[in-house]
Amino acid sequence: MAGEHPPRAAFPTTRITLIEAARGEPTLEARNALAVLCAVYWYPIYAYIRRLGYPQEDAEDLTQGFFARVLEKAYLRDFQRERGRFRSFLLGALKHFIANERDWARAEKRGGASIVVPLDAVLRTAEARYGLEPRDSLSPEKLFERQWALALLDRVHGRLRADAAARGKREQFERLKSYLLADDRGDGYRAAADDLKTSEGAIKVAVHRLRARFRDVLREEIAQTVDDPADIGQELRDLMAAIRS
């Protein structure tokens, strides 16, 4: 998944708010916003670069360099919501960066850039994580989309987990989260009821409510990366298709 998220009280909570902050002048707020974007999107970018055939060290350099260049050269100022989807913009910017900025990316790792991007800790886990990727025929673009979808779902799960914890229902969420994208099979609800010391009927109600909240939060997250609300449904379909791939 996308890793740990910065404390929600410290940063804006919606992706477009983050993008708009990162598109501004290189202030502390903009850099903090970029840190949040890095936490969400760093692995899809790393996986894309590795699937292109770059070795581990080069992929680390390019991932680090890309995010540093995004802030230093204000790539995000070119993103306009009316043009479509943020993930498409991000991938396009990455392709441009790889084609034109390889030497700069290596210089960044050696200390030649003025922007420090907080990716050192997560990049130490990147190759182990990439090693778990199926050795399938997915193109770099399809792998990016799948990892984007998983990162988005991780973001949604994080919000639901925080909501549950605030209501004293963290244990219930952890037990029932597997039902968000799958129906009950066999005695699943009964087993969950036994584990949580409640009735099967109560579990069914809890799952129904959790799924409804999941759909709402997922649509909220998607809505932050598209300009036209009419695009939300297609983005949702693309997300599910990317996961199934």
Q: pLDDT tens for residues 1-57?
A: 444 443 333 333 455 666 666 666 667 776 676 777 777 888 999 999 999 999 998
Query: Confidence class of residue 83 from pLDDT cuts 50, 70 and 90?
Result: low
* Beta-bridge partners for 85: 226
Residue 57 resides in a domain: yes
The token pair at 110 is 């050696």
Max CA separation in the chain (angstroms) = 62
Q: Is residue 139 in some structural domain? A: yes
Tokens of 32: 């903090």
pLDDT at 160: 96
5 in a structural domain: no
Would you call 85 helix, strand, or coil by DSSP? strand
Q: Decide if 4 is inside a domain.
A: no
Six-digit token string for 2: 């996308």
User: Are 34 and 22 contacting, i.e. CB atoms less than 8 angstroms apart?
Assistant: yes
Is residue 237 domain-resident? Answer: yes
- The verdict on residue 38 lying in a domain is yes
Q: Is 226 helix (H, G, I), strand (E, B) or coil?
A: strand
Number of compact structural domains in the chain: 1
> In this structure, is residue 7 part of a structural domain?
no
The pLDDT, as a whole number, for residue 6 is 37
126: pLDDT strictly greater than 50: yes
Selection from 182, 242, 171 nearest residue 211 by Cα? 182
Residue-number span of the structural domain to which 20 is assigned: 15-244
Determine the residue type at 68.
A
Assess if residue 1 is contained within a domain.
no
Q: Are the C-beta atoms of residues 235 and 226 closer than 8 Å to each other?
A: yes
Q: How far apart are the first and last CA of the chain?
A: 16
**3-state SS, residue 118:** coil
Distance CA 175, CA 173 (A): 5
Sequence-separated (6 or more) residues with CB below 8 Å from residue 164 = 170, 172, 173
- Token pair 């639901």 is found at 160
Return the closest-CA partner of residue 41 out of 61, 10, 19, 9.
19
Q: Which residues pair with 226 in a beta bridge?
A: 85
Over residues 160-173, the pLDDT tens digits come to: 999 999 999 999 99
